[in-house]
Amino acid sequence: MKELRLNEAWTRLDEVCLKLWKEDRQSAAGLQALVEEFRADVDRAEKTVASLREGMAQMRVTVEGEVQSEAEARIATLRRELEDAGHKKLADLEDRHLRAEAELNSQHAERLQAFLKELEEKERRLEAGWLERRRELEADYQSRLAEQAQAQQDRIAELRGEALRKEGSLSAAQEALAKELEAKEARLAEQEAQYQAREEELERYRRDLEADWQVKRQELDEIKKKLQEEVVSVVQQYKKGA
């Protein structure tokens, strides 16, 4: 728009100069010289402005490039700082996690050792109780056998005594007594067989108790072994973690 107005101004000046050349050549020459000089000044000013604009454009590109470079460098620096801070924070978190895990493993190992110690103590008490119970059962078993044998012997002696006392009686009574004695001896034999069966049953019961104790003892040994292996494994993991 400004260039259009300037061209119109040059056109009017040229028209004025042309008109003046027709009327007053001397004045027209002076005016024409001034117009040409002014036109040269305007051309130089336009060239200067264009040069300044070009310089400003180049400067803008340069400044934008420098700003972009500085921004990228700053961004890269901030990223490195963030990465370094992140790595450091991650290392700190990992270190705290490892320490907490090591402490937890140590506590777990201590609890396992305490539990194993308590288990061993219970095992000793159980074994002592079983031995005491076994002695009591054996003593009771022997006592019952002795009582049964003594009762049987006493009864046989009593029956034989009665038979001997009645031996001088009438033959019928003696025969009846003999039959009674025979029947009683048969009953005694039957009772003796029952006592023997009871004795065998008690012996089987004793063997079953002993076998059951051996099984429980083996189970306790296996539990103890597994717990010891677990304690060793936890301690090794704790040493590796430390």
Encode pLDDT of 138-188 as tens digits. 676 577 767 777 877 887 788 777 767 766 555 666 677 778 888 888 888
Asked if residues 35 and 16 have their Cβ atoms less than 8 Å apart, the reply is no
Q: Would you state the structure tokens that stand for residue 231, as one six-digit string? A: 């304690």
CA dihedral over 24, 29, 32, 33, signed as positive or negative: negative
Tell me how many degrees the CA angle 201-205-207 measures, rounded to the nearest 5. 115
* Cα 227–chain centre separation: 19
Confidence of residue 84 (pLDDT cuts 50, 70, 90): low
Coil, strand or helix at 103: helix
> In the prediction, which pLDDT does 11 show?
67
pLDDT of res. 4 = 45
Which residues are CB-neighbours of 154 under 8 A, at least 6 positions away?
none
Residue 194 confidence class, pLDDT cut points 50, 70, 90: confident
- Going by pLDDT thresholds of 50, 70 and 90, the confidence category of residue 189 is confident
What is the C-alpha to C-alpha distance for residues 170 and 173, in angstroms, rounded to an integer? 5
Handedness of CA 152, 153, 158, 162 (dihedral sign): positive
Q: Measuring CA to CA, how many Å separate 82 from each of 70, 73, 88, 111, 189?
A: 18, 14, 10, 42, 102
- What number of CA atoms fall less than 13 Å from residue 38's CA on the CB side? 11
d(CA 131, CA 136): 9
| pLDDT surpasses 50 at 113 | yes
pLDDT: which is higher, 80 or 141? 80
* Element holding 170 (H helix, E strand): none
CA 178 and chain centroid, separation: 87
Do 130 and 217 touch, CB atoms closer than 8 A? no
CA 3 centroid distance within chain: 82
DSSP 166: G
Going by the DSSP 8-state scheme, the letter that residue 192 receives in this structure is H
pTM: 0.29
